[in-house]
Structure 1
Amino acid sequence: MKLLRFRTDGVGKTGLLNEDEITELNCSMVDALNASDINEFKTENSYNLSDVDVLPPVSPSKVVCVGLNYKDHARELDMELPEEPVIFIKPSTAVTGHLDDVRYPPCSTQVDYEAELGIVIKKEAHNVDKGDAPDFIGGYTILNDVTARDKQRKDVQWTRAKGFDTFAPIGPCIETELNPVDQHISLRLNNDLKQDSNTKNMIFNVYELVEFISHVMTLNPGDVIGTGTAPGVGPMQIGDTVEAEVEGIGVLKNFIKSV
């Protein structure tokens, strides 16, 4: 099932998405992800998707991202496969949603897109074994790991390059029943296909990532893990429209604007 957060009449709500119809749920997103029977939370209120503002599906305390994690991306860069995941954090203030603007910082001369499958954590995860990882995953979403590439090249670490406000678009929804190890992932810039791969090309799969990261830091309910990007990464310009798509989830669309 697809879950999303949305705003109508100035009020944020949780909903169950069926094509273009939203059924309002009287619970938080984390409660919905942990529900044994989502029907218990259904209300009689329904909305058309086109009549509401779609919000980021969760409000993570942190977004933990993974560096090089696609075999075809490694071949593209002529890089050896890493022996273990390389991770970094985007702050919660970087999170924005579907159809929101991504703000191009004036201090940067190259801002790149990176389409990724996002893992949404539903309950506290600490020292989780990969075999138990599915018990801690509420579902999957789409993340665009926007990056100021010139700052990434300049800095020893990636906090500045990855952490600008609006540099973590997430959405549009959470799919709770996705098979994460074999889904098409792509990105279009102004309707031109730029990234095109499959999650089966990941070096470390989603369960291995949950294990690795949860042995470094505790993952809180609502936290998001970005699982790395496919080949074809490139720059965006002010005025561009970027659409990241993951099969089975949908399309995350954003607009590049000046600050």
Structure 2
Amino acid sequence: MPVLPSWLTDPLWDQFSALLPERPVCHPDHPLGCHRPRINDRIVFDKLLQLLRFGCSYQAIADTTCSATTIRNRRDEWIRLDIFARLKQIALDSYDRIVGLILDQIAVDGSITKAPGGGEVAGRSPVDRGKQGLKRSGMTDGYGIPLGRVLAGANRHDSPLLAATLDLLVDLGPLPDDITVHLDAGYDSAATRTTLTERQLCGQIAHKGEKAPIQASRRWHVERTHAWQNAFHRLCRCYERRATVINAFFDLADTIITVRSLIRRAWKTHRWHARPSQCP
């Protein structure tokens, strides 16, 4: 059984392959004029999807078609070329053009996950007996499409990460004149309101000590997106130690979430080649 359905992996691969530079099958400078052929990029791409979805080790996913070393080397090569970030931006632009991002309603919240291997952005988790953990301060639009995230140790509070998270809005291009940022009670402070005022943003912040259902605001969209991201076991229990690699896997997961939402929402209003016969 494939790790993802073909109606999702095929468009992902079509766009991903278009971003890859052309490479010869065999290295032309080899002294004997022959060399072991380069592993097909599609094989490595499928292996990365399996790693992201199942969270297993590189050695466990390697087989006769591709070694663990090849997966790591190709992953690092694509990170240097900024392929994952570019793929995510293309998915966001496509979603915005066809469906439309709801950028006048933004939700921001933090989520803590396990990081047993430690690493550059890991810290002592206050909710896991001081074990190593990873916090992401995620930002979504009004529907829950992931717009970006800031990584930090699990011991960091949500509020100081808000400014760096909101700075990611600059990469989205033209923005509405009035933007409302939905936040939970952890952001209820004067520093948060100053941060919003400096960026000319409105804030809808839950008040400390006052019980209110999450449905009372549009904050639940970011909670749902955290659940979507945690469905990828590579992110829910992160063994990667470098921030660049973690961000690459998050970019790939966010691309999958965005394309999946795009296909599902456009299925009833658009027709295209290889459109799924049933609403996914």
**TM-score of the superposition, structure 1-length normalised?**
0.30
Give the structure with higher Rg (CA): 2
Larger strand proportion of the pair: 1
**TM-score of the superposition, structure 2-length normalised?**
0.28
Q: Report 1 or 2 for greater relative contact order, CA contacts < 8 Å, sequence distance ≥ 6.
A: 1
